[in-house]
Amino acid sequence: MSKMKNTIDPAVNYLLPLAKKAGIETVWDRFAAMKPQCGFGELGVCCRICWKGPCRIDPFGNGPQRGVCGADANTIVARNLARMIAGGAASHSDHGRHIALTLLEVGEGHAPAYRIKDEQKLRSIAEKLNLAPADKDIRQVAKEVALASLEDYSRQNYSIPCNWTKSTMTAERVDKLLDLGIMPHNIDAVIAEIMARTHVGCDADAANILLGGLKGALADYNGMCLSTELSDVLFGTPEPVVTTANLGVLKEDAVNIAVHGHNPLLSEIVCDVALKMNEEAKKAGAKEGINIVGICCTGNEVMMRRGIPLATNYLSQEMAIITGAVDAMVVDVQCIMPAITGVAECFHTEIITTMPVNKITGATHIEFREDSAIDSARKIVELAIDAFKRRDRRKVNIPDYKQTAIAGFSAEAIMAALSKIDAKDPLKPLIDNIINGNIQGIALFAGCNNPRTTHDNNFMTIAKELAKNNVLILATGCGAGTFAKNGLMTQEATEAYAGDSLKAVLTTIGKAAGLNGPLPLVLHMGSCVDNSRAVNVAVTIANKLGVDLDKLPLVASAPEFMSEKAVAIGTWAVALGLPTHIGIVPQIMGSSVVVEFLTEKAKDLLGGYFIVETDPKQAAAKLVAAIKERRKGLGI
């Protein structure tokens, strides 16, 4: 059997041999060293929830079938999964909490670094949340919206649903979630509830634990919804912007600052401040001044709002440093490999951590606070300029690979493009084309990369296959990174890969929107939290058609996922009624009850279900089949 390729990213393939020669270890080396990975862990049947353990269930039936406390494989697998969902929900929602708190400060007239950038959006959110914004001062509206969002972290009445979930769903879905008892009332309480019910000696019924997990996943959805929408208020609602992606965006003659992580509260200010410090960089010898590039979801955030080039996605973050051209990598939260400080030791690169709860040994810590954001950002940029002076030019290897990428397709941007065709009824052209089959369905690609499969390959293979089958493609997160780096967010990709009827529709919309050609093959919707934008579009379509989400020819795919956050996202996609593909075998296979629940029973309860398929061609076929089944259900 031939060895699986590490990646299809040409920039990474250029750098990997150089890393090897220099003796620099990367994620792929560590993954190889980790093999064979623990079979019990892979199946999810290892329990470390109490210190009578660790316990593990023998999957072949010869050894123990129960842990010391008597928990069986079903209980153990379900508990492990629910706790992962809680971890994901905590991460997204903590991010959302910071944004909501900042908006509150803006409303109260503090936080001078921030302002309300999109008043219209703020008012329309207030409208949605039933806050009657019409005659109120904009700062008052900001305060009320922030407080209504923070209520979703503090409400103690179990029978009142979270504001955001309730106001962003179809009515039928709201009822379904209430009926099943999985509508969240308070994000933090739901996360705490999962931790409590999975403590030793509590909930032992796998199906019941999974319902708790579904509620946790919906709490995750609630947190990401408010993160997305309130970020737009503070930093602007994305509009299509042309930029570039892959490591070739680094510049030899500039101070290169990579912003990495997730939360735009920091990166937005770093961008603002850096713009003003160009002259200082030039004085230090950087002819082209300061060049900011993005990595992971922070990269998506600044790409879609500012057109900042995207350097790379999750799995190749170390590669950015290995170019020898990154002067500072500024990180906030989530998906930052602790390995980067070790790689940076071989270069002049400053790794700068900024959050009190996210430090990395070996990094420089510059604490970031909303009230002194500009000062911290200035210190960060100064450190980068200093590091630039120490850069060893002999070690610089910037791969000559970059692609054009059109980013920034928020729900609003999509509606704006459509309204150029039909101003009175913007959705009509989209819906008509779905009904007549020119667009067979819509697929949302999300999630991470994972060395268990060839980096970027599943995303690319499945997307091309779906496009050929006239499926409209949306993308977020590191999947969006894959498509940007590999040229699928271009008009040329539409010409090359879209099926004829999809191409015709994308061309009509693109031309009407003044793009002088088709829309890009993959519409970039943003970071992981921006998956809520896709829900927003789907709910609008569902309401217009008068059906619930589980009737739409809409599918999701996380073909290379790894994080707890991605587990949470996939699970709420199922809860919202979507057939949801995952391309990595999940750590649940040790429990027949859990597998059956998530791949079959969920379909009866919620309409959505998981499709596990590691082969990308097969996965594409299964997604097309799921779309066809939905179309049949609608009689179209």
| Near ligand CUV in 294-353, by CB under 6 A | 296-297, 314, 334-335
Q: Is 49 in the site for ligand SF4 (CB under 6 A)?
A: yes
Which phi and psi (to 5°) does residue 355 adopt? Answer: -105, 135
Nearer to ligand SF4, 48 or 632 (CB): 48
Q: Which residues have C-beta within 8 Å of that of residue 555, sequence separation ≥ 6?
A: 441, 442, 443, 444, 578, 579, 580, 581, 623, 626, 627
| Binding piece for ligand CUV, criterion CB under 6 A, among 10-18, 61-69, 206-214, 562-570 | 562-570
Short-list 558, 565, 484, 568, CA closest to 525: 484
- 48's torsion region: left (phi>0), alpha (psi -120 to 50) or beta? alpha
| Binding piece for ligand SF4, criterion CB under 6 A, among 52-60, 260-268, 510-518, 585-593 | 52-60
Q: Is 566 in the site for ligand CUV (CB under 6 A)?
A: yes
Question: What count of other Cβ atoms lies within 10 Å of the Cβ of residue 70?
Answer: 11
Q: Which of 8, 47, 204, 273 binds ligand SF4 (CB under 6 A)?
A: 47
| Near ligand CUV in 190-209, by CB under 6 A | none
Q: Which residues have C-beta within 8 Å of that of residue 26, sequence separation ≥ 6?
A: 16, 19, 318, 319, 322, 339, 343
| Residue 297 annotated as binding site | yes
Short-list 505, 596, 428, 431, CA closest to 77: 596
Q: Is 90 in the site for ligand SF4 (CB under 6 A)?
A: no
Q: Tokens 């450190």 belong to which residue?
A: 383
- 53's torsion region: left (phi>0), alpha (psi -120 to 50) or beta? beta
| Exposed / middle / buried, residue 266 (Cβ in 10 Å: 0-12, 13-18, 19+) | buried
Contact status, residue 86 vs residue 191, Cβ threshold 8 Å:
yes
CB 305, min distance to ligand CUV, A = 16
CB 608, min distance to ligand CUV, A = 20
| Residue 202 annotated as binding site | no
Q: Is 414 in the site for ligand CUV (CB under 6 A)?
A: no
Beta strands per DSSP E along 180-309: 241-245, 255-261, 290-295
SS3 content of the chain, % helix, strand, coil (to 5): 50, 10, 35
Give dist(CA 452, CA 292) in Å, integer. Answer: 30
| Near ligand SF4 in 184-213, by CB under 6 A | 200
Q: Which of 85, 351, 448, 554 binds ligand CUV (CB under 6 A)?
A: 448
- 264's torsion region: left (phi>0), alpha (psi -120 to 50) or beta? alpha
What would the x/- binding string for ligand CUV be over residues 133 to 152, using CB under 6 A? Answer: --------------------
Would you state the structure tokens that stand for residue 586, as one six-digit string? Answer: 């999940």
- 7's torsion region: left (phi>0), alpha (psi -120 to 50) or beta? beta
Short-list 497, 471, 470, 501, CA closest to 486: 497
| Residue 55 annotated as binding site | yes
- Rounded to 5 degrees, what angle do the CA atoms 76, 82, 85 make? 145
| Near ligand CUV in 242-281, by CB under 6 A | 262
- Rounded to 5 degrees, what angle do the CA atoms 474, 565, 589 make? 100
| Binding piece for ligand SF4, criterion CB under 6 A, among 67-75, 311-319, 515-523, 596-604 | 67-75
Nearer to ligand CUV, 228 or 349 (CB): 228
Nearer to ligand CUV, 518 or 616 (CB): 616
Nearer to ligand CUV, 447 or 487 (CB): 447
Nearer to ligand CUV, 323 or 449 (CB): 449
Q: What residue 589 binds from ligand SF4, ligand CUV, none (CB within 5 to 8 A, per partner kind)? A: none
| Near ligand CUV in 388-407, by CB under 6 A | none
CB 220, min distance to ligand SF4, A = 25
Q: Is 214 in the site for ligand CUV (CB under 6 A)?
A: no
Q: Which of 249, 321, 478, 502 binds ligand CUV (CB under 6 A)?
A: 478
What would the x/- binding string for ligand CUV be over residues 281 to 300, using CB under 6 A? Answer: ---------------xx---
Q: Which of 12, 55, 126, 471 binds ligand SF4 (CB under 6 A)?
A: 55
Find how far residue 523's CA is from the centre of its chain.
14
| Residue 346 annotated as binding site | no
Find how far residue 138's CA is from the centre of its chain.
30
Binding residue positions for [Ni-4Fe-4S] cluster = 262, 297, 335, 448, 478, 528
Residues that bind ligand CUV in the complex, under the rule CB under 6 A = 262, 296-297, 314, 334-335, 447-448, 477-478, 527-528, 563, 565-566
Binding residue positions = 38, 46-47, 50, 55, 69, 262, 297, 335, 448, 478, 528
Binding residue positions for [4Fe-4S] cluster = 38, 46-47, 50, 55, 69
